[in-house]
Amino acid sequence: MTLYIQNYSSYRDDIETIDVKNELKQKYKIDTRRQDKFIHLAIYGGQLLKEKVEINKDNELYVTSGVGNIDIIQKTNTYMYKENQTLKIFDFINLLGNTTSYYIASTLGIKGKSIFQISDNFTYINTLVSLYSSIRSSKKDAILCSIDLLSTPAEIMKRVLGVKEDCNLVSSVNYQKFSLEKSNAIAKVDFDIISYSYNEIKEILLKNDKKVLTSSRCKELEFEKDLAYFETMGSYVVNNAIKNKDDLVYIDCFNNRYRMLKIESLK
C-alpha cells in the first residue's frame, strides 16, 4: 500500500519548548477553555499543518495515540475513587476520544469523516491501513494526527507502555496530509499489514540499500535508534525523513513481531 504526503507538521517537547496553550490563545486566537493538555497539543499540531498546506472541509480526519488522554483518566480516578467526588461534566466529555477529534476538526474547518483510533500495538501503522482503505473508497484526502502526551508521573506511562524505567519518554504531535494521488506530493510512504519474525526481517534488511532506523523496542536489531520514545514514533520518523530529504526504512517491534514503513522523499 502506498500513500502520498502533501505536507506535514511536527512538535516534540524535547526538541522545542513551547507553552502550547498560550501559543493557541496568542498566535492562533483559539478558545482553549474546557480543554486539557492533550487536546491543546492535538490542536497545536493541526495549526502547524494548516500553515503549510490547504485543508478542505471534506478531508477525512484520523487521530491515533499510544495510550490516549491518560491524564484525564488519572484525574477521573482521583475524583471518583480517592476523593469521593462526582465527575465534572467537561472532564467526562474530554474522556471521550472523539472529543479530541471534534476540537481538531472544528479548528481546521473539517466536516468530513472523523475517527479516533488506538491499537494496542503498531497503532500508527494500523491507522495508516484504515486511512488507506477509507480513501480508496471515498476518493478524498485525509489528515492524520498522531499524538502522545507524557503524563505525570512518567512511571505510570512507562508501565502502561511496557518500556524500561530508564526510557526517555517525550510528548509529541505529528501530522500528515495524505492522498492517493502523486501530484503535489513531497514524499510517499509504503506499508503493509504483514508482521514479520526476527529472521524474516533480517532477511529483508539484507536486501535493503536504504538507511534503516528502528524503534527502541527493536532490541535485537543493531541499527540507529532515537534515544527518546513515544508510541507513535513512526509518524515523527516519516516527518523527519521528509525534512531531511532521506529515503529510509523504519522498523517497529512488539512481542517479537516486526513491521516496517518505507519512506521516500519526492522533492
Q: What is the pLDDT at residue 2?
A: 98
Q: What is the pLDDT at residue 150?
A: 84
Do 48 and 125 belong together in one domain? yes
Do 135 and 8 belong together in one domain? yes
Q: What is the pLDDT at residue 7?
A: 98
Do 78 and 165 belong together in one domain? yes
pTM value is: 0.90
User: Is 62 in contact with 117 (CB distance < 8 Å)?
Assistant: yes
Do 108 and 203 belong together in one domain? no
To 5 degrees, how large is the angle CA 71–CA 42–CA 77? Answer: 15
From 135, 159, 187, give the residue that closes a domain.
Answer: 187
Domain that holds residue 214: 190-265
Do 63 and 179 belong together in one domain? yes
Residue recorded with cell 501503522 = 125
Do 217 and 101 belong together in one domain? no
CATH at 125: 3.40.47.10
Cis check: omega of the bond before 153, within 30 degrees of 0: yes
From 160, 187, 214, give the residue that closes a domain.
Answer: 187
**What is the pLDDT tens value at each position of the chain, 267 positions in all?**
999 999 999 999 999 989 999 999 999 999 998 888 999 999 999 999 999 999 999 999 999 998 877 766 665 655 555 656 665 655 555 555 678 999 999 999 999 899 999 888 899 999 999 999 999 999 999 999 999 998 766 666 666 676 767 778 889 999 999 999 999 999 999 999 999 999 999 999 998 989 999 988 888 888 888 878 888 999 999 999 999 999 999 999 999 999 999 999 997
Task: Determine the Cα–Cα distance for residues 124 and 219; give it in Å rounded to an integer.
Answer: 20
Beta bridge partners of 213: 224, 250
From 135, 169, 187, give the residue that closes a domain.
Answer: 187
Other CB atoms within 10 Å distance of the CB of residue 78: 11
Q: What is the pLDDT at residue 176?
A: 98
Total of domains in the chain: 2
Closest CA to 177 of 167, 188, 191, 192: 188
Q: What is the pLDDT at residue 242?
A: 96
